[in-house]
Amino acid sequence: MLEKTGVPDPEQVKDITPTEERLQKGPVVIVECFQNIPCDPCRHACRQGAIKEFEDINDLPEVDHELCNGCGLCISECPGLAIFVIDATYSEEEGLVKMPYEYLPLPEENEEVTGTDTEGRPVCSARVIKVQNTKTLDRTPVVTLAVPKQHLMKVRSFVRKGGE
């Protein structure tokens, strides 16, 4: 399916989703990398040792969610823009999704946007909490969205209301 359409299968996503118990402890990384390609910047970016050392540069990143503290340093380091951080503990109703976002103009903090899924379809209304665009991020800004908790594993991008 993924190879035909570019959309990851629910099964694949399930395999990389942290346990409910881990999600309740705070922010944690979601690495949506499903193909063995020669690439390993994520593991060099991780200072917690949560992304295990590769034996072969073609290995898939293997994440120990218990070691991950959700710092998000890996997000802008991933050339495939396949890394997200989710935080299910943000508030009673909402969780946070941190994502790479390489489009201009960048959204404003507190802006209402439409959260979209892996096919670009609208999922829910979302609020921009933070826009990081430091020199270290090297032109891959990281946007944090607040979304209803049930959509944490759904929302992977967004569109600005009233056009791009």
Partner 1 sequence: MTSLQKPEIAIVGGGPAGLSAALSAVRQGAEVMLIDRDPALGGQLVKQTHMFFGSRKEYAAIRGIDIPGKLVAALEEEGAEKFKPLLDTAVLGYYDDGVILAYKEEEQAMLIKPQKTIIATGAAEKMLPFPGNDLPGVYGAGAVQTLMNVYGIKPGTRVLMVGAGNIGLIVSYQLLQAGVEVAAIIEGAPKIGGYLVHATKVRRAGIPIKTSHTIKEAYGKDSVEGALICSLDENWCAIPGSDLDMKVDVICLAVGLTPQTELLWQAGCEQKYIPELGGYVPLRNEKMQTSLPDLYIAGDMACIEEAGSAMVEGKIAGLYAAADLGYDEKVEEHCHSYCRELEELRAGPTGAKIRQGLSRLNGGV
**20, 121, 134, 162: residue in contact with partner 1 (rule CB under 8 A):** 121
Site for partner 1 contains 135 (CB under 8 A): no
Burial of 52 (0-12, 13-18, 19+ CB in 10 A): middle
**16, 116, 143, 153: residue in contact with partner 1 (rule CB under 8 A):** 116
For partner 1, the closer of residues 19 and 35 by Cβ is: 35
Burial of 139 (0-12, 13-18, 19+ CB in 10 A): exposed
Span from 14-22, 50-58, 129-137, 142-150 in contact with partner 1 (CB under 8 A): 50-58
Span from 62-70, 106-114, 116-124, 146-154 in contact with partner 1 (CB under 8 A): 116-124
Site for partner 1 contains 78 (CB under 8 A): yes
The CA distance from 144 to 129, in Å, is: 5
| Residues 69 and 90 sit within 8 Å (Cβ to Cβ) | no
For partner 1, the closer of residues 8 and 70 by Cβ is: 8
| Residues 108 and 153 sit within 8 Å (Cβ to Cβ) | no
Span from 1-9, 87-95, 127-135, 144-152 in contact with partner 1 (CB under 8 A): 1-9
| Residues 130 and 143 sit within 8 Å (Cβ to Cβ) | yes
| Residues 65 and 104 sit within 8 Å (Cβ to Cβ) | no
Going by C-alpha positions, the residue among 134, 21, 15, 120 that lies closest to residue 72 is 134
Residues in region 11-30 near partner 1 by CB under 8 A: none
Binding residues (CB under 8 A) for partner 1: these are: 2-8, 32-41, 44-45, 56-58, 77-82, 102-104, 116-121, 138-140, 156-157, 164
